[in-house]
Each structure stands twice: as structure tokens, then as C-alpha cells.
Amino acid sequence: MGTMVRGTLPLSRRRLLGGAVALGFGGGPGTGPALAETRAEMGAKKRAEAPRRVAVLDWGLAASCVALGCVPVGVPAPSWCTRYVGDPALPAGVTDVGLLFTPNFELLQELKPDAILITPGLEVMRGPLERVAPVFAVALDRPGAGVLERAGSETRRLAAFLGLEAAAEALAARAEATLEQAAHELAPLTDRSVCLVNILDQRHVNVFGASSLHHAVLNRLGLRNAWGGEPVMGEFVAVGLERLAAVPDARLINVALGGFGRLKAMAANPFWQALPFSREGRTHEIGSVLGSAGLPAVERLARLLSAALVPVEASHG
Amino acid sequence: MADRVADSGFRCGALIALLALLAAVLTVVAAHPYLPGPPWTAGTWRWLLEGGGDVRRLILTDSLLPRLCAGLLCGGALGLAGVLFQQALRNPLAEPSTLGVAGGAQLALMATATLLPGFGGNLGTLGHGLVALGGGVGAAALVVGLAWRAALAPAVVILAGLAVGLTCSALASGLMLFNGAGFQALFLWASGSLSQNGWAIPQALAPQLAAGAVLALLLARPLALLDLGTEGAAGLGVPVRALRLATLALAVALSAAVVSAAGVIGFVGLAAPAMVRLAGARSLLARLTWAPPLGAALLWLADATTQVASQIAGSGARELPTGTLTALLGAPLLLWLLTRSGGGDGGPPVPAEPPARRLARSGPWLLAGLLALLLAAWLALAVGQGVGGWRWSGWADLQPLLYWRAPRMAAAMAAGAMLGAAGVLLQRLTGNPLAGPEVLGIGTGAAFGVILLYLAVPAFPVEAQVAAAGAGALATLCAVLLLGRRQGHAPERLLLTGVALTTVFGAVVALLLSSGDPRAFTLFRWLTGSTYLATPAIAIAAWTAALPLLAVPLLCARWLEILPLGEEAARGLGLRLPLVRGIVLLLVAALTTAATLVVGPLSFVGLMAPHAARLCGLQRAVPQLAGAALAGALVMVLADWLGRVLLFPAQMPAGLLATLLGAPYLLWLLRR
């Protein structure tokens, strides 16, 4: 089993590799020169050396890598990644390795990465990926209890794998500072709850629920999420506009996942205009913040929230 | 006779009243939180009529009430359209999506959203509706144009409709895969939401439905004569082509109006006419009378249920799209009616087969097919794209790539062959050219198994996925066999059962896809027929299953020749029908299950390959089986290769590409 040769890494990886071997991958027909070649190359590397050329198969994870100072060699659909992540932006020149959830194995093999980073959602393709390079899973895409703590711990785990522990500490400190400052700035605005939505069309919105990273950040900033429910699946629920009447007193903030302008488009919708938060001018729009982007997303959301809401406080005097 | 008519009228009326009563109770429950007092007090009504800017009143008058009206209107329009489609095309499986209306509308919306980014929220509901309307009508017009030369013969219209509809949905799915995360709103639309915020939609629908009803009544008398068959009706002086055109135009207009207003609300158009027929309404006039109110009641009940359910579930759960609920409610209802009502006909007779070319000598055709298959296989292995663009790999260069290319090519080939053979068996068994292995519900059963796995376990290997799919397929197969046993596996019932099961599972799938959960996209890839994760083990398993399963049908050649001749002929020739049907069905199920495990549930190869073989002149059972297997394998191998290289580095699922290849080919064959 070729994969065992690379068992030079932390315990968690060895365990994961063991799992892949137990599933019968790695052997079988086709264990050809490709694998031998990769193996030889890997052997030639110094064992302790941290991976430098990483392919990252998730957008949030890619953003975390960039924030840590490690530019991926390959990311699926980089233009969409930039659109959803916002900041930190993916530098130009990152190879497009296919669609999200359908990375191109042949192309990955050609890129010869030192390691491939995945989220647990991609475990289903761990077998084939292990043929290309060692695979490391980071659980940044799991909303639910403790999502904020997980953003910190998983970013640190990722940094340890990349050998960039110092960058992780700096990132964590920066996020902490941003949270502190935003919490301070937003303190006068804790009178009203905040409803974070993503406007889908003229009849539906996604509402960020209690399992989302966004909810956790709101709490951390001393703000209350107006939408108390915990989504059955994922981080938000899709609801009809009429359900927003349940949060009449909230400030409504549209998180522009993938593009601005939807809030403005609602100006032509009489029903939307008649809803209390809209009638009383308590609607705002902020840039895209991806819930799976770990610490960079935490910092970005805190910054954007404070930038959007602080002028409100100023105008109220 | 008069008694029977009155009796059927009573049963239909009772069914509608029951559904409406349930719906009314649920509506009151749903509206309750927004009312100041009980709905039967004068104070409540005064508040409702006069009250000021209260948010609760706003919701009642501008959201819940228009929603109720929109639901009734959509349900009525779908029921009416369903009867018209089924009568004009003389096929009990015809419904609004048969002519590609939904597929066309979806493609138009996807294309607009891609060309005009930010469209989802920026273009109003009305703009949304117009785009959908244009797409739906465009697709239907294309179908009618293609079938014009064949005098709009039902079989040709249906095949053309399927091909156009499938092509549209495949293109739309392709766009969706590319921009997945941005298309949640469109998934939402595709799963049928009646959520309203104003009266614009009901106000637009009401006159459309009224005009449609009047026109339908005007058409009713000549349309009823179509029961006599094309020649019979023409003999009585009915201008059959013009009549079909008018009926189809009306039905398309009605379904396009619904699609543009509320998205894809499946099943009502199929279930309402089927239910009134099963309740005893046989004559066209009776069906025209009862199906629209039944459709309205069904949709109302579904919509009220989803509202109450979301209220109970609280703010964490999303509201089920109404289209999902119609399927979840309507399908069991249809199944129940199917098992209850005794023998008798399941609906108007299915159309004769489309005109085929005269019998051809099978040898040269099959040899040519085999050669084409080998050529395609070599192409799939040797040609691909890499960092440096296109390249052709010789034997040595190929070695590192074989692991990626060979298993998926082999798996696709096996699956295509199995699906093609399964399609021949099923179409011969049922005598219905609409029957593809997908229609049996086995594919969606498999998909359901995988969805449960996705919901239960956050991470799993591909083998677990195969096991879950197998379990789902097996469970569905058992359900189909058990439900069909009482009628001796009568073809009509079988198909309706399969459609009902497909609809239930399909609804759950659509629900998951519209949730916005990123995992849904992994699922979507598999659902559109992907060979992406085929490992050598899977390819070997696929061939191990395919070889014996493809050989066994050759032993049933005599049955397969006799079955399409009809029940009487089959009995006369000494077939023990229930047994024969059971065995053939089991074979179909085994073939479909094995193929689904490999490529996912949504490849329409099983529907198209048998037609391709027959239109080439391979009419007898054994040559058709061999031809369809070859055609299926060829299409899947080519599709897999194209999916891999065409949009490199992005990869399109083979099932999707197979549809894009197969459907236009089918259209081309029809034109000749």
C-alpha cells in the first residue's frame, strides 16, 4: 500500500490514511508509474518539511489558507471563490481545478501538489485523492454548536499542518481585536435585535439561524439574532417574506452572498416596503461572508457589521 | 348507465369535498396567529375589512389570502391542462411537463440568470414570470413544429416533447452545476412555491383560467371523438390535426401560466385526472368537470398543510415548497386509489408506436454499432485535456491516466448497455413508448437511499453510497412488485405506480436541493448521472452484473415478441401473463438497479436507446435488445468522455451529457 510510505505526519493524518487503506483504495488495477513517481518524489523530500504546494478543494478553506499566507496552487472555480469569499481575495494565477465538489483528478495529478485540503463533506472522494497526494480534512464547513470556537481551533489545526502556527496566532489575535473593537462600537446598538438574511428573490429570503457562524459572531458582539430557530440543515433557512413579519423590531441586514443589489431591488416590492423594518428604514446591506471561511470570516463579518451599523448610531445621535 | 354516471359524480364530489374540508380546517389553523379573534366573529371580519396598517392584517390580505387564491387557480389550471393533454395525446401519463413546458421555462430562467447576473432578486416576480412563460411556450412550440409533419400523432408529439423537455432540463442542470451556489432561488422556484406578496399573480391567473375553461368546453365535443382513434375521428369529419393543435395550445398555455406564476408544481396535472378517472368519471365531459376542482382542492390541501407544518416546526425549519407537498400528498392518494379500484381500464388507450423504418437486416447495423462502440472507447481512453490543452496520449503516456479514465469509461459502458436493455424490456412489457426504466421509480428509490445517508452521516466513502443506493432501489422494487401483484402487474397500473413513487422521491430530492446546503450539490452531481467516482472495483462490479443480466433477456425472446400484441393475444398464445410479467419486471429492476448504482438515477438512455434501435429498423425482440444495449453503451461512453473533456477542467455528469446527445438524436430520427 503506497500510501503508508507517507505516514510521517501527525497522528490524525495517519489515522485518516489508515481509514483510506482499510477501504481498499490505493491498490487495485492501475497502480502504475504515476503513483510510484509521486511516491519517489515524496520520499526525496525532507520528512519534516511542511507542504508548500497545496490544492484546496473548498472556498472557505481556500480563504483561510490565503489569510494564513499560503497561496493554494489549485482551487475549484477561483472566480466564484473570490465572489463568495470577498476578502481575503485569491491571488491571480491559482489554477482552476474544476467545479466545487467535482475537482478534476487528472488535473490535480498533473499539478503535483504536496497535499490536498478538503472539508469532511468531500470525504467521499478521499480514496481517489489519496492517489494524488496526502489528504488533510479541516472541519470548517460544519455549522452548529461551538461553530465560533471551531473556526479558531480548525484554523489553528490547518496552520499546524501547513507549518504556519505563527500566522495563525497573528490571525487569531487580529480577529479578537476586531471583535473587541466592533463590540465596543456596536454597544449603543444592542437595543434592537439583528436579523441577518440573504435575499433570494422577490418572495423568499434565507435567514441565518442559530447554527450559523454569523449567529455566533452576532452573539460575540453583544447583538441578539432576531431569528432564534436552529436550521434543521445547514446554516440558514429559506422562508417566504411574510415570515419576516415575526421580527418587526429587528434591524435587517442583507448579507450579499455572491453579489450586491438585491436589497435595492426590493424597493419596488410593496409588501417588503410595508414590513416594519423596511418602513422604518432599518435595512442594510453588507458584502458576502462565507460561513465556512473560519477566522477570516469572523473578522470580516465583525468589520462589515460595525461599518454598516455604526452610521445608524451616529444619525441617532 | 345513468346510475353509473351519477355514482361517479357523487364519488368525485365527495372526494373533492373531503379534500376541501381538510384544507379549510388547515387554512384556519394557519391563519389563526394573524387573527385578532376567532374567524367566525363579526369583530374579526370588521378588523379585516377596515383595520389600518397592522402587520398581521397585511399578512392576511396581501400574503395568505392571495396565496389561497393562487393555489386554487393553479390547481384548477393544472387539472384542466392534465385532462386536455391526456385526451389529445391519448396517454394517461401525459401531463404538463410532457411537452417540455417546465423544462423550457427552467432553461429560460437559468439562461437569463447566467446572462444577467444578480437577476434573482432584481427582476421582479412579473419579469420572472414572463421569462418562464417565454421559455415554456417556446419549448412547446418546438415540439409541435417537430411533430407537425406527422399530423401531431400522439406518439410523435410525446417523444418530441420528451426529447425537447429533457434537453432543456439537461442544459439547465448544466448551468446550475456551474453556478450551483448562486441558483438556490431557482431551485426554490423549481420546487414550486406559492408564497405570495400581493394580488398580482392571482389577478393574472383568474382570467387565464376562465378563458381556458370556456375554450375547453368548446373543444369538448370534438375532443371526445378522439376516443375513436385518429382514423375513426377523421372518418366522422373531425379535423384531427387542427383539433390536436388547438387542444395542445390551450393545455400548454394553461400550464405555462402556472409555471410562470408558481414554478414547477408537478403531479397535480397527472394525479387529478387520474384520480377522477379512478373514481369512475370516464367520459371526457365528466373528467373535464371534475378534474379542475379536484386539482384545486389537492393543491389547496397541500399548500395549507405546508403552512401548518412550518408553523408547528417553528422558526428553525424551512417551509416545505408546495410543489413538494403535492407530491408527498398526491402520490400516496394515487397509490391508494390504484390498489382499491378493481380491474377496468387505467385510462385512454396508449398510442400506437411511432412510425418506424421498415425492417432492416440486423447484422450490419449491430456490427456497425459494435465498431462505433470500440472506437468511442478508444477515444475516451486516449483523448483528453490537461494543463497544456488538448492532447492525444499514446500507450506510454496513458499509463498514469488509465486509473482515472478506464474505470469510468467501463462503468459508463456497462450502465448504458443495461439501461438500454431494460428500456426495451419495459417498453415491450407495457406497450407504452413513454416507459423508461426511470419511470419505475427504482432510480429515484436509489437516490432516496443516498439522500438518507447524506442526512444521517456527515462523511462516508463511495462504497457506502453504493450500498445505500442499492438498499433504496431494492425497497422501491419490493414496493412496485407488491403494489402491482393484485392486478397481475397490469402495465397501466405499473406505470402509474412507478410515476407516483418517482414523484414522492423526486419531491424530497428537490426539497434538499433548494435548501442551499452545500452538500446538496454533491448529491446533485450524482443525481444527474455521474461516473465521476467510479473506481476499478465499481467498474468490475458493473460488468459482473451486466454480462449475465444482458444474456438472460435473450431467453425470453418469445415473450417479448408476444407481449406488445396486447393482453388478449398474449393469453390466446398461451402466456401465463402474471408470471411472465413478474419475471420480465424483475429483470428490468435488476438491470436498472445495477445501472443506477453506477451512474446515478438520471440518465434517459433507457428511454431513448430502444427508440433509436427501433427507428433504425431493429424491430424484433432480440435485435432490438442488442441494438439498444449497443446504443445505450455508445451514448454513455461518448457522454462520459464529453463530460470529462468538453468544459475542462469542469466536468459534466455523464447522464446529463447523455441526455444532450440522445435527445436531439431522437428528434433527428423522428424527422426522417
Give residue-wise pLDDT tens across range B309-319.
888 877 666 77
State the average pLDDT for chain B.
82
Cβ–Cβ gap B64/A242 under 8 Å: yes
CB-defined contacts A:B, below 8 A: 237
Chain B residues whose CB is inside 8 A of the A199 CB are 121
Cα B408 to the center of its chain, rounded Å = 27
Q: Are residues A191 and A277 in the same domain?
A: yes
CB B570 within 8 A of CB B439: no
Within 10 angstroms of residue B503's Cβ, the number of other Cβ atoms is: 22
Tell me which chain A residues have a C-beta less than 8 angstroms from the C-beta of B455.
233
Measured distance CA(B652)–CA(A104) in Å, rounded: 11
The answer to the question of residue B406 being in a domain is yes
Choice between B54 and B11, residue whose per-residue pLDDT is larger: B11
Domain annotation covers residue A143? no
Q: Please, are residues B500 and B480 in contact by the beta-carbon 8 Å criterion? A: no
Domain assignment of residue A289, given as a range: 186-316
For the record, the C-alpha cell of B375 comes out as 472506437
For chain B, the domain total comes to: 2
Count other C-beta atoms under 10 Å from residue A121's C-beta: 23
Positive/negative CA dihedral, B334, B335, B337, B338: positive
Q: How confident is the model at residue B419 (pLDDT cuts 50, 70, 90)?
A: very high
Express each pLDDT in B550-561 by its tens digit.
999 999 888 888
In terms of domains, do A220 and A311 share one? yes
What residues in A contact B64, CB-CB < 8 Å? 242
What type of residue is B169? Answer: S
Instruction: Provide the pLDDT for residue B356.
Output: 53
Cell numbers standing for residue B153: 400523432
> Is any Cβ of chain A less than 8 angstroms from the Cβ of B182?
yes
pLDDT at B367 over 80: yes
Across the interface, of A100, A124, A234, the residue whose CB is closest to B460 is: A124
Q: Which residues of B touch A241 (CB under 8 A)?
A: 63, 195, 197
B72 with B148, same domain? yes
Helices (H), B341-488: 362-382, 395-430, 442-456, 462-485
Q: Answer whether residue A6 shows pLDDT above 60.
A: no
Q: Residue B177 is nearest to which of A99, A239, A259, comparing CB atoms? A: A99
Locate the chain A residue with the closest alpha carbon to B458: A121
As a whole number, mean pLDDT of residues B634-642 equals 94
Quick check: A123 and A49 in contact, CB under 8 A?
Answer: no
pLDDT at B642: 93
A67-76, A239-248, B321-330: least confident range: B321-330
> Average pLDDT, whole number, for chain A?
82
> Of B340, B355, B376, which residue constitutes the final position of a domain?
B340
pLDDT tens per residue, range A121-136: 788 889 999 999 999 9
Say if residue B166's pLDDT is above 90: no
What predicted TM-score, i.e. pTM, was given to this entire model?
A: 0.81
CB of B260 closer than 8 Å to CB of B319: no
Asked if B90 contacts B348 with a C-beta cutoff of 8 angstroms, the reply is yes
Residue A169 lies in a domain: no
Chain A contact present for B518, CB below 8 A: yes
CB contact under 8 A, A124 and B196: no
Domain match, A214 and A283 both: yes
**Which residues form the domain of B203?**
58-226+239-340
DSSP per residue, B176-224: HHHHGGGGHHHHHHHT-----SSSHHHHHHHHHHHHHHHHHHHHHHHHH
pLDDT at A96: 93
Q: If we measure between CA atoms, which residue out of B588, B585, B567, B587 comes closest to residue B576?
A: B567
Q: For residue B482, is pLDDT > 70?
A: yes
Residue B603 in 3-state DSSP? Answer: coil
What b/e sequence results for B52-82 when a residue is b if at least 16 CB atoms lie within 10 Å of its CB, and e otherwise? eeebbbbbbbbbbbbbbbbbbbbbbbbbbbb
Closest C-alpha among B265, B245, B225, B283 to residue B77 = B265
**Model confidence over A13-32: pLDDT tens digits?**
444 444 433 333 333 333 34
CB distance B197–A23 less than 8 Å? Answer: no
Q: Is A258 within the bounds of a domain?
A: yes
Q: Which has the minimum average pLDDT: A44-53, B527-536, B618-627?
A: A44-53
Highest mean pLDDT among B327-331, B398-402, B415-419, B660-664: B415-419
Domain endpoint, select from A106, A122, A138: A138
Q: DSSP letters of B511-576?
A: HHHTT--THHHHHHHHHTT--TT--HHHHHHHHHHHHHHHHHHHHTHHHHHHGGG-HHHHHHTT--
Q: Collect all residues of chain B within an 8 Å Cβ-Cβ radius of residue A150.
A: none
Compute how many other C-beta atoms are within 10 angstroms of the C-beta atom of residue B279.
23
**Between chains, do A124 and B318 touch, taking CB under 8 Å as contact?**
no
Q: Is B197 within 8 Å of chain A by CB?
A: yes
- Which chain B residue has the Cα nearest residue A122? B459
Please determine, for residue B336, whether its predicted confidence score (pLDDT) is greater than 80.
Answer: no
Residues 6+ positions from B370 with CB-CB distance below 8 Å = B630
What residues of A are in contact with residue B400 (Cβ under 8 Å)?
Answer: 32-34, 37, 109
Residue A229: give its domain's CATH number. Answer: 3.40.50.1980
B198 touches chain A (CB under 8 A): yes
Grid coordinates belonging to B647? 468544459
Q: Check residue B497 and give its pLDDT.
A: 73
Instruction: Kindly indicate the confidence band of residue A43, based on its pLDDT and cuts at 50, 70 and 90.
Output: very low
> Is residue A44's pLDDT more than 60?
no
User: Is the domain of B294 the same as that of B414?
Assistant: no
Q: Is B179 on the interface with A (CB under 8 A)?
A: yes
Choose from A81-85, A194-198, B337-341 the range with maximum mean pLDDT: A194-198
Q: Which range has the worst mean pLDDT, A8-12, B388-392, B449-453?
A: A8-12
pLDDT in tens, B230-255: 778 888 888 888 998 999 999 999 98
Per-residue cell: B26: 388547515
> Residue B318 maps to which CATH number?
1.10.3470.10
3-state secondary structure B121-160: HHCCHHHHHHHHHHHHHHHHHHHHHHHCCCCCCHHHHHHH
Residues of B in contact with A125 (CB under 8 A): 462, 533
pLDDT at residue B98 in the model: 72
Phi, psi of A93 (to 5 degrees): 95, 0
B401-416 pLDDT, tens digit each: 999 999 999 999 999 9
- Predicted confidence band of residue B53 (pLDDT cuts 50, 70, 90): low
Of A79, A106, A138, which residue is a domain's last? A138
The chain A residue lying nearest B314, using CA atoms, is A229
Cα angle B68, B73, B75 (rounded to 5 degrees) comes to 95
Residue A170 pLDDT exceeds 70: yes
Q: Which of B56, B60, B64, B184 to mutate to test the interface with A (most CBs of A within 10 A)?
A: B184
